[in-house]
């Protein structure tokens, strides 16, 4: 008996090799679910002289991201529940703090420069609040896909991932709730989008001479408007406190999951919109190289955490012109008469910048 494996339910044209049993022949089929049904496929193969008694869809392994159990909901009557009832959801949580803001506030009464910079921060907070509350996902982002040893960057439209923002004093909380999926393709696409969003925010602030320090975690959180509770928020705040320098410290649980995916042999033969089988470890490698770096690579002044979100490298990969833009912002801070403790943070930032342009050929003269 000869079994034929076909791809059912695809939304794009798919090429798939078939093994006919007695002799190996590659048969290429192109179809869409909307136009070609299983019976038509049977007729097609029978017309080629194949005895087809069975058509089966390949079963892919189920992918799970970090397992974060949520507490059982309390037994309450539905009539007593409001749309804003307290409930944890697993989210990526980023807690950000403005570097040196305490000093700015303290001197804003006597220093016009400090007062003007605080005014700029307040204006940017208003812009940020508007951006995250109305049509936030309107851009494209780079999504690298590796196949056969070659990596191609695709410009992909942002998905409508639920995002919440809270602003208070000199702090920012952003949480992202990825859509559940058992496909690693979906998870990695969403992670690229989320990490790109955080990196761009950090870069935009840096261009204005406002440098952020933060922590990035994943897990249970309740986040509605300015009301925010949860273990993942506590973890993000702890990470921010451990990060001495202007960077975003990443929870080891996130990094360890991606590093474990790097060793995985999981392959998807089929997923909607993808024309070839893809390996999980390739997606993990692309994400890691794009958005993560060790915190102790840029001098002996450790950031207090093993890994950071590599926002400079990710922006430089998008456009080399970003090197010139951020160089001036860092150079301006290095030229200011800061106390030694603050000056050391900007020297670390200089070392991080120099390290990041190392991967862009032809830009060695841009070193600081």
- Alpha helix (H) ranges present in the chain? 38-47, 101-107, 112-133, 184-207, 231-242, 252-261, 280-291, 311-318, 321-334, 340-357
Distance CA 243, CA 261 (A): 26
**How far does Cα 80 stand from its chain's mean position?**
37
Neighbouring residues of 284: CB distance < 8 A, sequence distance ≥ 6: 188, 258, 259, 261, 262, 264
Most confidently predicted of 27-36, 124-133, 204-213: 204-213
Strand pairing class (227-229; 267-268): unpaired
The mean pLDDT value for 240-244 works out to: 89
The mean pLDDT value for 71-87 works out to: 57
Q: Which residues pair with 206 in a beta bridge?
A: none
**Average predicted confidence (pLDDT) for the chain:** 78
Give yes or no for residue 67 having a pLDDT over 90.
Answer: no
Give me the pLDDT at residue 20, please.
41
pLDDT grade for 24, boundaries at 50, 70 and 90: very low
The mean pLDDT value for 194-218 works out to: 94
pLDDT grade for 15, boundaries at 50, 70 and 90: very low
Give me the pLDDT at residue 361, please.
65
Most confidently predicted of 216-220, 239-243, 346-350: 216-220
% of residues, the chain, pLDDT over 90: 36
pLDDT grade for 164, boundaries at 50, 70 and 90: very high
pLDDT (tens digit, 9 = 90+) per residue, 81-126? 555 578 899 999 999 998 888 888 888 898 898 898 888 888 888 8
The mean pLDDT value for 121-133 works out to: 86
Q: CB neighbours (10 Å) of residue 136?
A: 15
Task: Tell me which DSSP letter residue 57 carries.
Answer: P
The mean pLDDT value for 168-190 works out to: 90
Which tokens go with 360? 């862009």
Query: pTM higher than 0.85, yes or no?
Result: no
Nearest CA to 68 among 92, 50, 33, 45?
A: 92
**Who has greater pLDDT, 368 or 51?**
368
Give me the pLDDT at residue 131, please.
85
pLDDT (tens digit, 9 = 90+) per residue, 253-307? 999 999 999 999 888 765 555 566 788 899 999 999 999 998 777 665 555 568 9
């Amino acid at each position: 008996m000869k079994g034929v494996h076909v791809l059912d339910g695809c939304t794009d044209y798919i090429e798939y090799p078939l093994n006919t049993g007695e002799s190996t022949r590659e048969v290429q089929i192109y179809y869409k679910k909307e136009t070609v049904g299983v019976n038509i496929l049977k007729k097609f193969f029978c017309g080629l002289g194949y005895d087809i008694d069975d058509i089966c869809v390949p079963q892919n392994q189920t992918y799970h991201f970090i397992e974060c159990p949520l507490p059982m909901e309390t037994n309450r009557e539905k009539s007593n529940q409001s749309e804003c009832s307290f409930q944890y959801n697993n989210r990526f949580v980023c807690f950000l703090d403005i570097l040196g803001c305490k000093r700015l506030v303290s001197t804003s009464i006597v220093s016009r420069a400090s007062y003007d910079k605080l005014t700029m921060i307040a204006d940017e907070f208003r812009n940020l609040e508007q951006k995250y509350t109305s049509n936030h996902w309107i851009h494209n982002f780079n999504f690298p896909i590796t196949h056969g040893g070659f990596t191609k960057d695709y410009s992909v439209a942002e998905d409508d991932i639920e995002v919440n923002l809270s602003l208070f004093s000199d702090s920012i909380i952003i949480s992202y709730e990825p859509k559940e999926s058992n496909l690693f393709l979906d998870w990695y696409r969403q992670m690229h989008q989320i990490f790109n969003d955080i990196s761009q925010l950090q870069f935009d602030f840096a261009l204005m001479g406002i440098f952020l320090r933060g922590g990035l975690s994943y897990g249970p959180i309740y986040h509605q408007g300015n009301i925010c509770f949860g273990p993942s928020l506590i973890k993000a705040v702890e990470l921010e406190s451990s990060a001495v320098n202007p960077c975003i410290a990443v929870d080891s649980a996130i990094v360890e999951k991606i590093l474990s995916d790097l060793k995985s042999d999981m392959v998807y033969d089929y997923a909607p919109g993808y024309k070839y089988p893809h390996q999980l470890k390739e997606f993990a490698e692309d994400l890691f190289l794009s958005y993560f770096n060790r915190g102790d690579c840029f001098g002996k002044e450790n950031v207090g955490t093993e890994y950071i979100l590599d926002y400079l490298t990710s922006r430089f990969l998008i456009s080399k012109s970003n090197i010139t833009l951020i160089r001036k912002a860092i150079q301006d801070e290095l030229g200011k008469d800061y106390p030694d403790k603050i000056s050391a943070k900007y020297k670390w930032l200089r070392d991080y910048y120099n390290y990041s342009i190392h991967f862009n050929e032809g830009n060695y003269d841009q070193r600081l």
